Amino acid sequence: MVRFVALLGILILGSIGIHAQNTCDDPPFENNRTWDLTDFCQYQEGVYDEIISGGVGRDGIPPIDDPQFESIEEAAEWLQPQSPVIAFELNGDARAYPLAILTRHEIVNDVVGGEPVAVTFCPLCNSAIVFERTVDGDVLRFGVSGLLRNSDLIMWDDKTQSWWQQLTGEGIVGAYTDTQLNIQGSNVVSFEAFMEQYPDGQVLDPGSRRYGDNPYRGYDSNETPFLFRGEPDPRLFPVERVLAVRIGDVAKAYPFSVLEELGVINDTINEQELVAFWQPGATSALDAADIDSSRDVGMAALYERVVEEQTLTFIIDEEGNIRDEQTNSIWNIFGTAIDGELAGTQLRQIIAAPHFWFAWAAFHPETEVYSLD
């Protein structure tokens, strides 16, 4: 049975007493003190029909605003090699954010490599995305609104109290409506993979609190997504993990089940030569009661496969290594050549993330699904 902590009940948006500033003749909601800065007269068409309450108030799921970090050696005292983490590196500053912590906080407002960023994770959609926090010259602090759309976290900012869709990074209500947050490349990988790639990296410090138990046990095998009011796209199981990407006007999803079978997928989208990598070794944060004891769901990432004007073709060798056929070099999940002629070469990462299929398809219904057929 799926268990959820602090996410109970479904409330239609109109019943939670939201208010608007008097910035238009007919604001859609009456005033209250929670959203005293939100301009409810600015919004994307149709969103008010799709937003519901997740059962908690604003920042009832508390974001982390003053993150502290520890060394890999210190983190290894509580994390296991298979523990899933969001790996993010910017300007030589590499950090790991364990999903054991992110399932409880969902947002970390941080400064990495000198740049303000928000590291976010929506457990209900399995969506891990890193955003820049600087918008029009202002550094925003993001919080958890307590509201959901298509089961996905809606964030809010402390400057205008606008609402932002986590899966897309778009402002959907308020002064920042239709503003797009810049997304930074990140990976959901095992703690061991992070250690090998960034031996001097830092790990989000849990402090005195114990993390590691899963408040969403059994969720990623449930055919009925929690607090999702739409009809899941039937092409895949609703909570199938997909490595999803949008390039120009083309959206595409690579199911983890196919990635696991093939190991690599050489592909072309809008004339851009790409490769999707998959490797085992990372557990699900949304399966068993203990995250580190959960099933191995692997890790996936997407890269451009052109190096110095040469298009590489990747395979999985007999030992399970990722190799390119042109130089026989070996590559890791971070798109780094770790052995062979191209050792030290870094593939350019393409912004893509592992999401649950139902959530990605709800926001991108025109998505192409890669299949073996």
* 221 domain residue, yes or no: no
Which DSSP state fits 233?
P
Do 35 and 146 fall into the same domain? yes
- DSSP line for 3-15: --SS----EEGGG
* 189 domain residue, yes or no: no
Q: Of the residues 184, 219, 253, which one is the last residue of a structural domain?
A: 184
* 195 domain residue, yes or no: no
Going by DSSP bridges, is the β-strand pair 250-255/368-369 parallel, antiparallel, or unpaired? parallel
Q: Where are the alpha helices (H) located in 200-312, listed in sequence order?
A: 256-262
Do 335 and 274 fall into the same domain? yes
- Rounded distance, CA 24 to CA 28, Å? 9
Mean pLDDT taken over the chain: 93
pLDDT at 373: 80
Going by DSSP bridges, is the β-strand pair 93-98/202-204 parallel, antiparallel, or unpaired? parallel
Do 255 and 353 fall into the same domain? yes
* 196 domain residue, yes or no: no
> Which CATH number goes with the domain that contains 253?
2.102.10
| Segments of the chain scoring below 70 in pLDDT | 1-23, 25-32
The Cβ of residue 56 has, within 10 Å, a number of other Cβ atoms equal to: 17
Do 105 and 249 fall into the same domain? no
Q: What is the pTM of this model?
A: 0.93
* 202 domain residue, yes or no: no
Do 34 and 163 fall into the same domain? yes
Do 176 and 76 fall into the same domain? yes
pLDDT at 272: 97
pLDDT at 293: 98
Name the residue with tokens 């790409």.
274
Expressed as residue numbers, the domain containing 347 is: 229-369
Reading the block at residue 65, the tokens are 């605003």
Do 306 and 244 fall into the same domain? yes
For 44-83, the pLDDT digits (tens) are 999 999 999 999 999 999 999 999 999 999 999 999 999 9
pLDDT at 212: 97
Do 20 and 168 fall into the same domain? yes
Do 255 and 356 fall into the same domain? yes
Determine which helix (DSSP H) or strand (DSSP E) holds 105, and give its type and residue range. Answer: helix 99-105
Do 175 and 240 fall into the same domain? no
Do 149 and 233 fall into the same domain? no
Determine which helix (DSSP H) or strand (DSSP E) holds 301, and give its type and residue range. Answer: strand 299-304
What is the CA angle 367-369-373, rounded to 5? 150
* 251 domain residue, yes or no: yes
Reading the block at residue 235, the tokens are 């092409």
Do 260 and 362 fall into the same domain? yes
Domain count, the chain: 2
Reading the block at residue 129, the tokens are 């995305």
* 197 domain residue, yes or no: no
* 320 domain residue, yes or no: yes
